[in-house]
Structures are given as structure tokens and as C-alpha cells.
Chains A and B, each alone.
Chain A
């Protein structure tokens, strides 16, 4: 069983309450950082830990912090991204709901490192009940001297504010989030300038995911080098995975990034295998935006190696035969699922969530949804499949923010790996309305090209 750094105390009774949290070793990292470390030393520890952003892009956190501009006399901000709206992703909710003080503790340390005296949590509007939980934790932390003026006599002042979003996925994109936090329409900004130079109210800002900031606590407690020993390669530490779909045990799991995808799906410690005795057909390993993989490419890479649950292995083979770690939203599809219908559902989501600023995403997402609906409902033509491919190709890379890519990738991957199933929907239109294509050959062992030496 792997080590747990974030959730090990999450199920201690009443851990939501300050006293219990403190008795279980809470706020030690704040003491350590504020009393014995300089802000730069904290950033240095985070760099050493190899921690990568848990919001989806996997950017090294320590490096992000060191890019923060520090002009004299200008405030700097830490903003925590708790918008978590990617379909299939619900790990931040779990963390905030069960052990809210961990996030607050991490934020105080991160704020100290960055010099942010007012830090924000931007939380998705639908997480209404968690706002109360966080505000309670913030109030308790303030009462006990962990927030406010001159924390622990260090001269460092810090306060944390919670802001609720109003129900838009796009407000999870960091610059749209900042716009929304400023009280404006949540349109992504055109970059550059990046938030590290001009973020919230035009001041230097770091935006980090809830899990990223929470991971700062064990990093400071145990040291960056210790943290980096867990995991493998550039996938250090532990990662929260929210698993859902046709598995026996959906839920949030903390893994160290050395276990295989196969173990994660089939072992009783994690997903417990496919539900109802069905067989695995496909999986989206990192939240709805990342490419879907058929069972055969999911469990083994194209080189024939075991696929591991980490950044490098999940993306092995690029988009041609791999996928991405993304936000850790692990969606499993069994043999009864229809990939066409599934792709349509995702396309509908992205059409609905596009902010509408740039033409390829605004118009292209709606167009893809309509074509996919035709295919799904037995009215498709075989030229529609090529058309879809061409549309996604013209969106990808040509938009303001990555939502355009996120809308294009699932469609591209579905066609790339499941073209047979799309074609079957066209050639057997009537039958496709009464039964699914099924598992077909998607779990078959793939021929492995001999290694070219």
C-alpha cells in the first residue's frame, strides 16, 4: 500500500475541526516555515520536491513560484483554483470537504513564500456547501493566530477570502478565473501578459490548484527531497485520482505514481475491477479533456510496456497512442458503452461551456455537437467522420485558451481509436439505434513493433 500524504488523516473523526486537526499535527508546516525559513527557502523546498501542478497542465510548481514578478510596492496574490468543473474530476471537493484545514495550512505557507497578504479561494458555485466548511476553517485559523496580522510574531500578515463562482467551467481557466474574481465576465484573457506578471487587478499572481497547494504541507514538513523520493522520474509525490464510471468502487484515491493502470482498475485497494462482470472497453485517464484510450492501449503502451499511473507513462506515445494525466479524473467505460454517444455528450458539454470569445471554439464546438448528434441518432453520413476530423483540427491550437483544444482532443481521439464504431453507426444506422457496437476488438492484444535499435 502506497503512502498517503494528503488523505491519511482525512477520515479521523471531526478532523474538520481545528482542535482535532491541530492535535493530529496540523499547522506544523506554518510554524516551520514562518519561524525557521525565508520565503525563498520555502520556494526552494517546493522546487526540490518536483511537485507539478495538479490542475491539469502539470507545470512544475516551484518554477511557477519563482517566475512571480516582484516589483517594489505592488501587492502580489495567491489564488487557489477550486473551480473543479472538468467532467470526471472531483478530487478537490473531497479534500476540501473532509480536511479543509489542510488547504488553509498550505495556503498560509504558500502565501508566505509568495508574499501574498490577501489570498483567495475561487470555488465553483455548485460547491455551495463547501464554502461554509472553508469559511469555518478560516475563522478557526484566524482565532488561533494562524491568519491575521503578524502571524506567530513573524511580521507576516495574511488573510484568506472565499469567492464563489456562478456556474461556468471556463472560470477554471486561470485568467477567466481572475476576470471573474474581479467581478467581470469570465472570459479568458489574451496572453501574454501572464498572471505571474499581470494577474489579479493587474498585480503579479500565482494561480494553483487545491491539491497542489495542499501538497505544500507535507513538502515543508518532510522536506522537498523526502517528497521527491516518492514516485518515479518527474512524477513525484502522491496524486489524487477521482475514479468513476463502470467500476466497482468509484471514489477518490491517493496513489503514489508507481502503480500500473491495470492494478489501479482491478485491485481491491482501488477501483475493484469492472462492475457487473463486464469487460473494460475504454478509459479517459485524466478528466474529460484528455484523449480517450481503448483498453488495449490503456493497459500497455504501444511499446508493449505496462502503463503506469504517472505523467510520463500516461502520455507515452503522444496523442497517437497515449493520453495524459490531466486533472486525475479517471473515467472507465465498459463494453456496454457507446463511444459515439459518449463523444457526443462531451461535445455537448464543451459547446455549452465555451465562452464564445474566439470564432473557432464558439462556432466549431456547436458544429461538432450537431454532427455527432446526427451520427449518434442514425442520421450520419460517412463523410461526417472526416468532416469532424477536419473541424477539430481547425479548432486545435488556434484559440485563445485551451478550452478549444480540450473540445477538439476528445473528438480526435475517439475517431483515431474508434473509427470502426463511428463507421458502424453510419453503415448500420437502424441497428445502431437498438444496440451498441460492444467491445469489438478494442481489448485485443496489439502487435508490438520490434524495438528499433
Chain B
């Protein structure tokens, strides 16, 4: 048939890969994987037009191509820049990139409320990961963080505008998966906000996917609100025969309770694809099928071993040998209140449990 198209060679952080023409630097870097793949907060490979905004994926192009080996003067957004044959890119090997990226992380956290302790996204939040991996400790910002008027956007999705990083992903979901977008970005600059126009409720059959694409806790599942920390729940893959969507999901369980249903995520935190098609799920699967009986369970979800979620099982954990007293040279800590005497958590040896702790574990009657 047609002759095979010529592949482009691109070298990123001294590792060379061959990719199809038209591939972005980011997707080429993901092909290499690991630390070579720049972090992404706004780009989402399954959403057309996404990317270019957050600037966390900036990289240095030290040679444009074999034909024109001049370096590019500015750092470029790897998610929106195509590779050329013979291009040489520096990501984590570039001081400039690391410096600029630390700047972007600082900017993204500038007005962020840092309310992780009460945020349902904590533990699976891309901003937490980003801050941890690419940010600096401490902030130089000394001003009041911005706040917004609270807005109710319907029965399923909770909007916390203070946490939003304006990645625009949710607007692309509404544009590309639902037949009617009723929300968007209002205002501009640092007062821009995600909102519905005159407090409309978002209720399209695929709107729940906005929760899955939101990198932070700005859009969370109302039916899961404050139910549990994600690292205490056990994710299992399951499916059902759904007339509307692919029906392939992850159930987030605690004991036998299904606390939450999400689409399945790939290693980049994006919704998984099946046969090249993104596995978005419908709102019925997400919000209305909360019984194990609704689902055919496939088995435990593979979770990256570095993720805090995989720590939730506490299986085979070694308890630390040193006690506070040992560390403090024999002195007991001066406490206003000994938390051990009042906390239920400490009455149970979580590391001895075979699975995740559930509310039953802490039930006094069982002990």
C-alpha cells in the first residue's frame, strides 16, 4: 500500500526515541517515560485543544532539528510543540527548565488554599504531586489568598473555586462529551473563575467526567463528599453492561461499601483508553450504581507503588522501633493532651489488618 512514513528521531534528556511526525515533545517524552516526561497540569491527551496554559511542561529545545539545529530562544510548552527530526530537548537536564518550573509551581500555589486536610482530592491530587516533586518548600507570598463566592452547580458535582488552577479541562469535557456546555470561565486574570452563567445546574449524562479530569479538588464527587480519605479505600476494577458508556470503572470500596465510582486511570492520571477510545463513563454508572451487586468485579486496581493510595493498605508495614522517648533522650514529650488516649485510630493496629480499615474496624463492639 502506501510507503511507511518516515519516523522522526528526537533526543530528550540524552535518550533518543523515534516517533511519528506530528507527535508532540510531551508524547515523545512519555514514550520514554519516567522522569523524562514533563509534568502536565492542563494538557489531557484525550481532550482536543487542551494544554499550553499551565506552563508546567516547559522544556528547553537546544537544537530545533537536523536541518535547522539552532536552539529555540524561549522555553516551549512541550504539550503543544511538535517534534522535528533531529530535535534535541532538555527537560530535567536543564537548569533553566527546573528554575522556570519551580516558578510555575510557586505561581500555581500562590492563591491555593492548601486546605488538603479537608479536601477530597488529597492523595490523588496532581497539584500535591507537582508541589512535592518540583516545588520549593515555603512560600514567599505574604498576602491574603483570593476567595470566591460559593456556587452550587448541581446535585452531583461540588465546585471549590478556590482550588481551581484554571486548566480549562472541564470546559473541554463539557464541549466534547456533552451536548450542551453550561459552564465556562467568567471574568479574567486572577479573578477569572469557573462558573455557570447565572447559577445553572450542570446535569448532562457525561458531566461527571469533569471530576475525573480535574487535576485538583476544584470539582469533586458530591456523593463521595467527606466519606473517606482515598488512601483508606480499596480500588477494584469492575464493569457492567451499560447502554450509555463503556461501563468499565474503578470502584473505591471500604469493606463491601462502594463509596465512589470513577473511570479507570492510566499511568499519567488520565482516563484509560480501550481500542483507542477514551473510557469515559456515564453519570448513571458513576453516581447511581453504588452496590457491589451492580458490578462484575475484575480484581484490584493497579496503583502506582509511589502513590499514597497504595500506602492505604498498611499491609506488612514495619512499625518504627524508636519511640518518641528514645529519640528525645529519655524525656517524654510535653503534650497538652495525649492523643493516643482519645483517638480511635490508635486503638487498632492497622498494620496487622489484612485489608483496608473500615468503619467496622473501629467499632468498639468488635474489640
Contact = CB atoms under 8 A, between A and B. Distances in A.
Interface string B174-192: 0000000000110111111
Given A190-B52, A399-B55, A363 B188 contact: no
A165 to B, nearest CB: 13
A359 B188 contact: no
Contact of A351 (B80, B166, B190): B190
A356 B77 contact: no
Given A364-B107, A387-B140, A354 B190 contact: yes
Given A365-B189, A367-B141, A358 B54 contact: yes
Contact of A356 (B55, B73, B192): B192
A400 B110 contact: no
Contacts of A356: 166, 185, 187-192
A354 B189 contact: yes
A67 to B, nearest CB: 17
A234 B6 CA distance: 42
B22 to A, nearest CB: 12
B248 to A, nearest CB: 32
A48 B320 CA distance: 79
A366 interface: yes
Contacts of B73: 397
Nearest to B108: A359
Interface in A365-409: 365-367, 370, 387, 394, 397-400
Is chain A's binding surface mostly helix, strand, loop or mixed?
Answer: helix
Interface string B41-72: 00000000001111110100000000000000
B184 A351 contact: no
B165 interface: yes
A423 B219 CA distance: 44
Nearest to A393: B103
Contacts of A170: 188
Contact of B104 (A355, A359, A366): A359
B189 A351 contact: yes
B363 to A, nearest CB: 46
B308 interface: no
A355 B107 contact: no
Q: Which of B55, B106, B168 has the most CB of A within 10 A?
A: B55
A357 interface: yes
Interface in B67-108: 73-75, 77, 80, 99-100, 103-104, 106-108
Nearest to B184: A185
A358 B53 CA distance: 5
A359 B165 contact: yes
A360 interface: yes
Given A190-B77, A356-B192, A365-B189, A400 B107 contact: no
A357 B190 contact: no
A355 B189 contact: yes
A362 interface: yes
Contacts, number: 90
B166 A357 contact: yes
B304 to A, nearest CB: 25
B143 interface: yes
A366 B110 CA distance: 10
Contacts of B106: 394
Contacts of A355: 188-189, 192
Nearest to B165: A359
Interface in A330-359: 351-359
A398 B110 contact: no
Contacts of B165: 359
A359 B54 contact: yes
Contacts of A394: 99-100, 103-104, 106-107
Contacts of A370: 143
A168 interface: yes
B111 interface: yes
Interface in B122-176: 140-141, 143, 165-166, 168
Given A367-B110, A394-B100, A397-B75, A360 B55 contact: yes
Given A356-B166, A356-B185, A359-B104, A398 B80 contact: no
A353 to B, nearest CB: 7
A353 B55 contact: no
A41 to B, nearest CB: 31
B146 to A, nearest CB: 8
B216 to A, nearest CB: 12
Nearest to A361: B189
Contact of B53 (A352, A359, A363, A364): A359
A354 B188 contact: yes
A359 B55 contact: yes
A98 to B, nearest CB: 33
A276 to B, nearest CB: 36
A397 B75 CA distance: 7
Contacts of A190: 51-53, 77, 80
Nearest to A357: B53
Q: Which of B74, B100, B107, B140 has the most CB of A within 10 A?
A: B107
Nearest to B111: A363
Contacts of B184: 185
A354 B187 CA distance: 10
A358 B51 CA distance: 10
A353 B189 contact: yes
A355 B189 CA distance: 5
14 contacts: A190-B53, A190-B80, A352-B189, A354-B189, A356-B191, A356-B192, A357-B53, A359-B165, A359-B166, A362-B190, A367-B110, A394-B100, A397-B75, A398-B100
Interface of B: 51-56, 58, 73-75, 77, 80, 99-100, 103-104, 106-108, 110-111, 140-141, 143, 165-166, 168, 184-185, 187-192
Closest 8 pairs (CB-CB, A-B): A394-B103, A356-B192, A190-B52, A363-B107, A354-B189, A366-B190, A359-B107, A363-B110
Given A367-B110, A394-B103, A398-B75, 10 more contacts: A351-B190, A352-B189, A355-B188, A356-B185, A357-B166, A363-B111, A365-B189, A365-B190, A387-B140, A394-B99
